[in-house]
Amino acid sequence: MDFYWAGFMFWLLIGVSAILFISGIRKQSWKALLSSGIALVLPSLYFLGAENWFRILAFLPLLAFFFAYRTRKRQKETNLMTFR
């Protein structure tokens, strides 16, 4: 039985992305959320080729990118308010 590196990398990226997403939400870290979205881009391209409802999973990186943008925007607004 051989070891499948493609499958290992696929699941590794999904796991790393999930861990980064959860920690990014808990700590309000836009960098962790952005990294989560970047790590999830490659596995989501696989699901983009599906012919059923799995195609919706290709939009998961957009969710991480949206949360990263929103978190960064809130941090900038908070920083501007403290310096006024």
Measured distance CA(84)–CA(55) in Å, rounded: 46
Burial (CB < 10 A; 0-12, 13-18, 19+), residue 61, is buried
Q: Specify the pLDDT at position 78.
A: 82
Per residue in 45-77, pLDDT tens? 888 888 888 888 889 999 999 999 999 999 888
Q: Mean pLDDT, the chain, as a whole number?
A: 90
3-state secondary structure of 83: coil
Per-domain residue ranges of the chain: 5-82
What pTM, to 2 d.p., does this model score? 0.84
Picking from 71, 66, 60, 63, the residue whose alpha carbon sits closest to that of residue 30 is 71
